[in-house]
Every structure is written in structure tokens, then in C-alpha cells.
């Protein structure tokens, strides 16, 4: 070993000096900690000045008043171009025809949503009925995420029909370009799926629907074919359909129409767009994280395939997870045979594992 690698002699005095120095440094660090924290707090306070605007990133949904990131494009009801289910008046009627006195006879109630009541004791009910839901309250009450297709084709048209004409509501709309519109805080009881309303979150996926045949149905004109496959042909009266992405052309994720039986009906259905699958997967992962009683799973039959019928009362009462309107009511078939349940749920599970 050369001299430059030789170890210094260990002298007792050197060891005592080092020990004393170390104690002094530790004491100084401990004394300095409150000063560091107070300095950081002061810096944060000075940065966040009163009246300063705090911009959203654009992927947040609202859950019991708290912002939750999804990784997907989200437009809240309070955002420019958003769809606000809290408002009483019609969204797409002329002002003189949209106020409550003009529409009272058409929809029956100024509100399109209600209060989640199922499982709440009287004390909790009294506390939350004024809007005082905590995230913890909601986590105990919500355990299902219900998927619909809207039979409207775009989210703008869906909100027009749902809110303005039918007096109903849903928490989320998912447009053909993957944009998610949130119309209500998840704490509200949206009117979208009868017996599931109290315990569920609902989403309307923009899609013209599933039918027993193609000829003579909207599928015949709504989907056109070119060398790349099918594309969504919005009717002229719809213009751009309110789709947020300029010049967007929606294409089904599959080049073939799906066929299958739902609640005793043999149906044909084009697939959803890849952009819708991506956003739905991310939203599912976010909801299963922030509302953990929603299990990241979907109903299966005895063969391990997606359940294609309505659930019995016992099955429905037990089920916690992601399901379709077809599983809630026997007269519904959405989201239909084209829904790739495995794509959505496996993708969401992968996100959950990655972020765990």
C-alpha cells in the first residue's frame, strides 16, 4: 500500500475531538429545524399572495370539494365551455325560454339531482344535507361506477337531452375525443341509474348506441368507411358537435362492429374511440383510488366472461366495482357488446400498481 492510501493513526484525543464536534453539529441542526420550517412557511406565504389566481392543471375532477388528478383532459362545470347540472335553466334554449317558469311543466323539478341517503344515520344525514360531505363520508357511501352510452353521439348533445329535456343528470360525460366533462361534484346523487343512484358515480360515454341491425338505424349513416376503417360522420345539423379538439375525427378502436347478446337482445355496435378508452381507464383508476370501496373490477358470469344480463337483487347488493347500466336494469343494454371491459379494468389496475 502506498503512502497516499495509508490510514492516519488513531489517537484517543482525535476521537474525543471528533465526538465532541459531532455532538455540537447535531445540536446546531436540531436548534435550526424550527427556523428552517418557519422560513419555508414564510416563503410559501409570500409566494401565495392574497388574491393570486391558482390555475388548474386541467386533469382534475371534484370529489367532495377536493381536486383529484386523473391524467385525462377534464372540463369542470365551472370552466368555460363546461356543462353545469347545478343550474336550473335550460343550457341550450334562448334566455327567454330557459328560466324555471318556462320549463316547470316539462321536467317537474328545478333540481336534476338529489341527496345520497342510503346507509346514513340521522346525524350524518343532517350534517351532509346542506352540502357538508367530507371525503371520508363519501368513501363510506359510494362503491359503484356505472357506465352508460348516451345514444346522443356527443357530450354536448347528451347534456342538451339529459338536462334540458329530461330533467336528469350524471356526474361525467365522456366525449368522442376523450374529453371528460364533470357536471356535478361526485358527492351529489345524480339521477342516472335508478337503484344504483345512491351508491354510485355515473358516466355517459358519447356513442350513438347498439342496435339489432345496421340498415335503417343511425349506425348506417353515423359511421362511414374509408381505407383506414370506420370514422364517425357527425350529421350536418350538429356542426362540430361541440367536440373540444379542433378538427377531430373519431374512429372506433376496432375496425369491425361488435355483436353480442345483452339482456336477451342480439345487438350490433361499433367500438368506442381509443381516446375514450384512454380517458375512461384513467378516470376509473382515479375513482378507485379516491373512493376505495369501488373495486377495480367488473361483473363476470360463471365462465369468467363479462356479465351480459341484469344482476339479481342479491348480486347487485353484493357488487362493488365498475358495472354497466345493463347490469342495473333489465330494459337497458348500455354500454353494450362493444365495451372492452378488460381493456379498461386491466389498464386501470396497471395504473394503480404503478402508482402504489
Pairwise pLDDT comparison (28 vs 228), residue with the higher score: 228
245 in a domain, yes or no? Answer: no
The CATH number for 94's domain is: 3.40.80.10
106 in a domain, yes or no? Answer: yes
- Cβ-based neighbour number of residue 300 at 10 Å: 11
pLDDT tens figures, 47-60: 668 888 888 899 99
pLDDT tens figures, 37-83: 445 444 555 566 888 888 889 999 999 999 999 999 999 999 999 99
Tell whether the model's pLDDT for residue 148 goes beyond 80.
yes
221 in a domain, yes or no? Answer: no
- Evaluate whether 88 touches 110 at the Cβ level (below 8 Å): yes
The domain total for the chain is 1
- State the Cα–Cα distance between residues 132 and 96, nearest whole angstrom: 34
19 in a domain, yes or no? Answer: no
- Cβ-based neighbour number of residue 67 at 10 Å: 13
Tell whether the model's pLDDT for residue 123 goes beyond 80.
yes
49 in a domain, yes or no? Answer: no
269 in a domain, yes or no? Answer: no
pTM equals 0.86
Domain that holds residue 195: 60-206+274-354
- State the Cα–Cα distance between residues 293 and 143, nearest whole angstrom: 5
Cis peptide before 200 (omega within 30 of 0): no
For the record, the C-alpha cell of 335 comes out as 354500454
Main-chain dihedrals φ then ψ at residue 318, nearest 5 degrees: -80, -25
- State the Cα–Cα distance between residues 18 and 6, nearest whole angstrom: 20
Mean pLDDT within 188-217: 97
- Exposure string (b/e) for 163-187, b if CB count within 10 Å is 16 or more? bbeebbbbbbbbbbbbbbbbbbbbb
65 in a domain, yes or no? Answer: yes
- Evaluate whether 179 touches 332 at the Cβ level (below 8 Å): no
Identify the band that residue 14 occupies on the pLDDT scale cut at 50, 70 and 90: very low
88 in a domain, yes or no? Answer: yes
**Residue holding cell 339479481?**
312
Amino acid at each position: 500500500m502506498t503512502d497516499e492510501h495509508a490510514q492516519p493513526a488513531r489517537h484517543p484525543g482525535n476521537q474525543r475531538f471528533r465526538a465532541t464536534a459531532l455532538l455540537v453539529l447535531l445540536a446546531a441542526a436540531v436548534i435550526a429545524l424550527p427556523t428552517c420550517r418557519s422560513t419555508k412557511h414564510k416563503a410559501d406565504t409570500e409566494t401565495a399572495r392574497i388574491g393570486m389566481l391558482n390555475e388548474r392543471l386541467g386533469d382534475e375532477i371534484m370529489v367532495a370539494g377536493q381536486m383529484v388528478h386523473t391524467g385525462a383532459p377534464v372540463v369542470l362545470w365551472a370552466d368555460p365551455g363546461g356543462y353545469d347540472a347545478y343550474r336550473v335553466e335550460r343550457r341550450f334554449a334562448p334566455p327567454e325560454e330557459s328560466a324555471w317558469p318556462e320549463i316547470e311543466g316539462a321536467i317537474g323539478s328545478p333540481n336534476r339531482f338529489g341527496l345520497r341517503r342510503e346507509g346514513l344515520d340521522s346525524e350524518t344525514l343532517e350534517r351532509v344535507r346542506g352540502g357538508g360531505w367530507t371525503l371520508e363520508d363519501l368513501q363510506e357511501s359510494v362503491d359503484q361506477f356505472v357506465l352508460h352510452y348516451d345514444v346522443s353521439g356527443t357530450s354536448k348533445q347528451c347534456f342538451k337531452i339529459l338536462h334540458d329535456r329530461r330533467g336528469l343528470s350524471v356526474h361525467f360525460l365522456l366525449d368522442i375525443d376523450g374529453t371528460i366533462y364533470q357536471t356535478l361534484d361526485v358527492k351529489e346523487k345524480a339521477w342516472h341509474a335508478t337503484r344504483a343512484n345512491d351508491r354510485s358515480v355515473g358516466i355517459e360515454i358519447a356513442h350513438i348506441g347498439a342496435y339489432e341491425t345496421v340498415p335503417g338505424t343511425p349506425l348506417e349513416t353515423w359511421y362511414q368507411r374509408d381505407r383506414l376503417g370506420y370514422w364517425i360522420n357527425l350529421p350536418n345539423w350538429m356542426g362540430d358537435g361541440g367536440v373540444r379538439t379542433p378538427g377531430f375525427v373519431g374512429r372506433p378502436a376496432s375496425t369491425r362492429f361488435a355483436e353480442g347478446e345483452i339482456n336477451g337482445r342480439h345487438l350490433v355496435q361499433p367500438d368506442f374511440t381509443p381516446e375514450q378508452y384512454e380517458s375512461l381507464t384513467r378516470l376509473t383508476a382515479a375513482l378507485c383510488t379516491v373512493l376505495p370501496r369501488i373495486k377495480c373490477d367488473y361483473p363476470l358470469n360463471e365462465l369468467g366472461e363479462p356479465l351480459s344480463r341484469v344482476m339479481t337483487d342479491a348480486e347487485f347488493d353484493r357488487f362493488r366495482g365498475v358495472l354497466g347500466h345493463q347490469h342495473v336494469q333489465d330494459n337497458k343494454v348500455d354500454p353494450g357488446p362493444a365495451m372492452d371491459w378488460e381493456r379498461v379494468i386491466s389498464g386501470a389496475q396497471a395504473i394503480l400498481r404503478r402508482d402504489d
